[in-house]
Amino acid sequence: MSSDSKLKLKIVIGSTRPGRVGPDVANWVDTGAREHGGFAVELVDLADIGLPLLDEPKHPAMQDYQHDHTKKWSAVIGDADAVIFVTPEYDFFAPATLVNALQVIAKEWKYKPVGIVSYGGISGGLRSAQELRTLIANKGAMPLPNVVPIPMVFPLLEDGTVKANDPMKEGLQGLFDELLKWGQALKPLHSA
């Protein structure tokens, strides 16, 4: 598949917290996506975007953004054919930074498949993922039902690298396969 025909996949690091492990998990996802071969991959760190909490004076549906950080974020998601959120679970919920990133723009999400790789303690971030799936659907995107949870993430990290087990690897490959199918099917809708 030529790079021009590949779907544009944005892998978004959802945590901006100091000491986070999101970049380590996202690098594992990024490597897997590149090896999959069906995507032109871009790793996006919300910490680099620097979105404050809903500081646009006009409703996001108008797409009349006043601030450069919102314009930058709008361009990142507007250019995507598919998105994967890499998210921790904070207090049984998604990080406020990731919820804000979903809410600050609107039309850019329409008709795009969104996958989730979650991580955390015993639940693997599944409660965070479930909350995100509801919000993703409310934005007009297609939240994929198969989430890749990573329970007890810290013992799986070694020198900044995720030492994935077989179920994690299989889950991630399944997520890429589904993103590719949904991305190809939905592309005519969000490109119109």
Instruction: Report yes or no: 172 and 32 within 8 Å, Cβ to Cβ.
Output: yes
Does 1 score more than 60 pLDDT? no
Residue 101 lies in a domain: yes
Mean pLDDT taken over the chain: 96
pLDDT digits (tens, 9 = 90+) for 154-178: 999 999 999 999 999 999 999 999 9
Task: Report the domain count for the chain.
Answer: 1
Q: What is the CATH number of the domain that holds 162?
A: 3.40.50.360
* Percentage, residues of the chain above pLDDT 90: 96
Does 32 score more than 60 pLDDT? yes
Residue 162 lies in a domain: yes
Residue 135 lies in a domain: yes
Residue 1 lies in a domain: no
Across 93-103, average pLDDT: 97
3-state secondary structure 5-73: CCEEEEEEECCCCCCCCHHHHHHHHHHHHHHHCCEEEEEEEHHHHCCCCCCCCCCHHHCCCCCHHHHHH
pLDDT digits (tens, 9 = 90+) for 102-160: 999 999 999 999 999 999 999 999 999 999 999 999 999 999 999 999 999 999 999 99
Using DSSP bridges, classify how beta strands 161-162 and 82-88 pair: parallel, antiparallel or unpaired: unpaired
Residue 116 lies in a domain: yes
Residue 2 lies in a domain: no
Identify the pLDDT of residue 192: 74
User: Domain range holding 173?
Assistant: 7-191
Across 72-79, average pLDDT: 98
Nearest to residue 87, comparing CAs of 75, 70, 101? 101
Two structure tokens written together for 14: 């959802």
Separation CA 34–CA 42 (nearest Å): 10
Residue 46 lies in a domain: yes
Residue 40 lies in a domain: yes
Q: How confident is the model at residue 17 (pLDDT cuts 50, 70, 90)?
A: very high
Instruction: Report yes or no: 61 and 93 within 8 Å, Cβ to Cβ.
Output: no
Identify the pLDDT of residue 3: 59
Across 66-83, average pLDDT: 98
Nearest to residue 150, comparing CAs of 26, 42, 30, 37? 26
